[in-house]
Amino acid sequence: MIAILQTELVKLFSQKRTYYGLAAILVIELLIMIGAWAQGTEILDVLLENLTDNFIMSGSLLNGHLVLYIVLNSLWFNLPLIVMIIVSGLLTSEYKDKTIQTVLLQSVNKRNFILAKYGVALVFTLLVVALLFTTASLSAYSFFGTGDLITYLNGLNFFESGEAFNRIVWAFLLGTLLMICYSFLSITLAVFFKDQTVTWIICAFVLIINGLLVKMDLGFMNYWFYSKVTDTWQYFFYFEVPWPYVWHNGGLLIFYALLIATVGVWRFVKKDVG
Amino acid sequence: MIKADSLSKSYGNVRALHKVSFNIAKGEISGILGPNGAGKTTLFKILTGLITPDSGSFSITSDKQKKIGAIIENPALYEYLSAHKNLQVLAKMQGLKLSKDQVNEQLTLVGLPTNRHDPVRNFSLGMKQRLGIATALLNNPDALILDEPFLGLDPLGMQKLRELIIRLAKERNLSVLVSSHQLEELSKVCQNLYLMQNGEITSSGSTQEILSKAAFQYRILGINLSQSETLKTLKATITSNTAWVTVARNDVSALIQQLVNEGVEILEVQPETNLNELYAQV
C-alpha cells in the first residue's frame, strides 16, 4: 500500500499539470495582493469614514491579516476548483491513457490502488493548503505588516492583531477539511464518470450548486447538509466563535470525506475496468 | 497452461463472447484470429481479470504471484516517464524492488536500448510494444497475452517482435496467446490457431491446418512467367514478373516443377490468404 502511494506521488509530481495548478494558485494570490495594494486603502477609507472619527485603530487597517482574510474568501472557491481538476486527473488520465489497465494487469490489488489515489489526494491537498498559507502569510505580512482585523459578518467585527492571526490559522485548518472533502469528491466523481472533461464539468457544477445552496435556508437540513457546512471557516470571523457548531461541522466534514471515499472505493472495486 | 471453459459475456443485448473454450500448454504459442469485433479483446480482458465473465471459467496453472502478463489493445504506458521509470513504477506497485541493473536487464531482454532516459512519448510504436512486453513480463508470469501486437508496426518491427515472442516462449517456457486479424503474422509465430467470429470460436487446429484452408491463391514471383502454358491453362493473372494462380495446396509442388520445366525461373512462391473467404468457409 505504501509502495503504491509512493509511486502515485512520483506520477503526480512528474506531470506538468500539477505545476500549472500550483502556479495558478500563486498567480491568483499575487493578483489579490496587487488588488489590495492598489485599491484597498481607498475602499477601507470610504467604508470606515465615520468609525475612524470615533475609534482609535491599531496600525493600518489594510494589513496582512485583512489581506489573508481576503485570500481566504477568494480562494475557497478558486482553490477547490484547481485542486479538484488536478486530483481528479490522477484517475481520469489513467482511464484516458488506459494505464489503469497496465497497472491492473500487474499483481496490484484494486482496492489498494484506489485507496492510494485517495491517499495521494489527501497528501496533495494538505500540500496545496500549506503552500497557500505559507506563501500568502509571508507575502501579506512582509508587504502589508500587521494590525487589527476588521470583518463584516452580522455587523462589523474588530479583532486585535494577535487574535486575528489565531482566527486566520483556525480558518485555514477548517478550510483544509473542506478542501479534503472536495478533493475526495473529485476522485469519486472520476471513478463514476471516468472521462476527464465530464468530471471537470461536474466538479465545477458541484461548486456552483454548493455556492447557491449555502445561502438557502434548508430547514433542519441546515445542520446536516454538506453545502451548509462548507462556510464553517467563516465562523472564526464572527465576534464570538460558535464553537459547538465549529466542532459539529468539522466532524461532519470528516464524516462526509470518509463517506465520499468509501462510495468511490466500493464502486471502483465492484466495477469492471475494461 | 491456460485453460478456458465455456466463457460467455454479454453487454446488454450484445453477445460479446459465447461458450469459448481452449487449452494452451506451457511453452506453446497459440493465436486467435478474427475480424474486429469478434470478441478477442473481451476474451483477453476476462483472462486477465479486468472484466468478469457472465458464465464459464478459466484457469492459469501457475504458482507465481503474477500468473499472467498482458498487453491489451495498445501498450498503455506513462508517456511522461522514461522507460526505466515506467518499469520501476510498475514494479514498485506490485512490491518489487528493481535495481538499475535489473531494469537494464529487462530492457535488454526485449531489445530496447538502456541509454534512453527521455519520456516514452518519444518512442516509436515498435519500441512501445517492446516496453509493453517488458512491463507484462515483470514479476515473471507463466503466461503471456498479446492483443494485436503487430498492429501498426513496419515489416522490420514485426519481424523483431515475432523473434522476441518465439524466444520468450522457448526460453521462459511461457504459454503465449496472441491475437491478430493478420493470418500471415500469426502463422509465423503460432503453433495453433483459433478462428473467432461473433464471439465464438468457429474453427481451431494447427497453424498448417488453418493455413491450408486459408490459402486460396499463390503469388509467384519469377522470370519468364508470361511464357508458361501451364499458367495460361490455370487462368493465372500475370504481370511482368508476378503471377497469381489458384490451385489446391497439394498441387503446389507439381506446379512449381512444371514451371521450372517450362523454363520459368522462380524467385518466390507465397500463399495469399483471403480471410473473408476463410471465415465464410468455416
**Using one digit for the tens of pLDDT, what is the confidence trace for B216-275?**
688 899 998 988 999 999 888 888 889 988 888 788 889 999 999 999 999 998 877 766
B121 at the A interface (CB within 8 A)?
no
Put simply, whether B70 touches A (Cβ < 8 Å) is yes
**H-helix segments, chain B:** 40-47, 83-93, 100-109, 125-136, 155-172, 183-189, 207-214, 229-233, 252-261, 275-281
pLDDT at res. A103 = 92
Q: Helix A110-144 and helix A16-47: axis angle, to 10°?
A: 40
Whether residues B92 and A103 touch (CB distance < 8 A) is answered with: no
Please check the confidence at residue B171 and state whether its pLDDT lies above 70: yes
The chain A residues in contact with chain B (CB within 8 A) are: 3-4, 6-7, 10-11, 14-16, 97-108, 113, 272-274
Q: Strand B55-60 and strand A156-159: pairing?
A: unpaired
Residues near B153 by Cβ (< 8 Å), separated by ≥ 6? Answer: B125, B126, B129, B161
Say whether B93 and A3 touch across the interface (CB within 8 A): yes
Cross-chain Cβ contact B135/A6 below 8 Å: no
Cα distance from B145 to chain A (closest Cα, Å)?
A: 10
CB of B271 closer than 8 Å to CB of B208: no
Q: In whole angstroms, what is the distance from residue A204 CA to residue A202 CA?
A: 5
Whether A63 contacts A146, CB under 8 Å: yes
Query: Nearest-CA distance from A161 to chain B in Å?
Result: 47
Nearest to B103 by CA among B61, B76, B138: B138
Q: Between chains, do B81 and A113 touch, taking CB under 8 Å as contact?
A: no
Which helix (H) or strand (E) segment holds residue B204: the answer is strand B200-206
Which of A98, A101, A106 minimises the CB distance to B94? A106
Task: With beta carbons less than 8 A apart as the criterion, state whether B131 and B123 touch.
Answer: yes
Number of structural domains in chain A: 1
CB contact under 8 A, A10 and B85: yes
Chain A residues close to B77, C-beta within 8 Å: 97, 99, 102
Chain A nearest C-alpha distance from B90 (Å) = 7
Which chain A residue has its CA at the smallest distance from B65's CA?
A: A107
One-letter amino acid identity for B246?
T
pLDDT score recorded for residue A146: 83
The residue of chain A with its CA nearest to that of B41 is: A274
d(CA B62, CA B67): 6
Q: Do B80 and A107 touch (CB under 8 A)?
A: no
Residue of B7, B63, B68, B78 best to disrupt the A interface, most CBs of A under 10 A: B78
Condensed to tens digits (0 to 9), the pLDDT of residues B87-116 reads 999 999 998 888 899 999 889 888 889 999
Identify the three-state secondary structure at position A131.
Answer: helix
Q: Report the half-sphere exposure of A76 (CA within 13 A, side-chain side).
A: 24
Residue A107, C-beta contacts closer than 8 angstroms, at least 6 positions apart: B65, B66, B94, B139
A&B contacts, CB < 8 Å: 79
Mean pLDDT, rounded, for B7-34: 91
Q: Do B94 and A273 touch (CB under 8 A)?
A: no
The CA-to-CA distance between both ends of chain B, in Å, stands at: 27
CA distance B92 to chain A (A): 6
pLDDT at A251: 93
pLDDT at A221: 76
Angle between helices A64-97 and A2-12 (to 10 degrees): 100
In angstroms, rounded to a whole number, what is the distance separating the alpha carbons of residues A96 and A88?
12
For B191, phi and psi rounded to 5 degrees?
-85, -35
CB contact under 8 A, B73 and A98: yes
d(CA B104, CA B83): 10
> Helix axis angle, B83-93 relative to A2-12, nearest 10°?
150
Model pLDDT, residue B120: 94
* B172 close contact with A: CB closer than 8 A: no
* Residuewise pLDDT in 10s, chain A (274 residues): 888 999 999 999 988 889 998 999 899 888 888 887 777 666 666 656 665 666 565 556 778 888 888 888 766 678 899 999 999 999 999 999 999 999 998 988 999 999 999 999 999 999 999 999 999 999 888 888 887 787 777 777 888 888 889 999 999 999 999 999 999 999 999 999 999 999 999 999 999 998 888 777 777 777 777 777 888 888 888 888 889 999 999 999 999 999 999 999 999 999 888 6
Residue of B nearest to A96 (CA): B76
Cα B178 from Cα B30, distance rounded (Å): 6
Select from A4, A14, A101 the Cβ nearest to the Cβ of B76: A101
> Mean pLDDT over all residues of chain B?
88
Q: Which domain holds residue A135?
A: 2-270
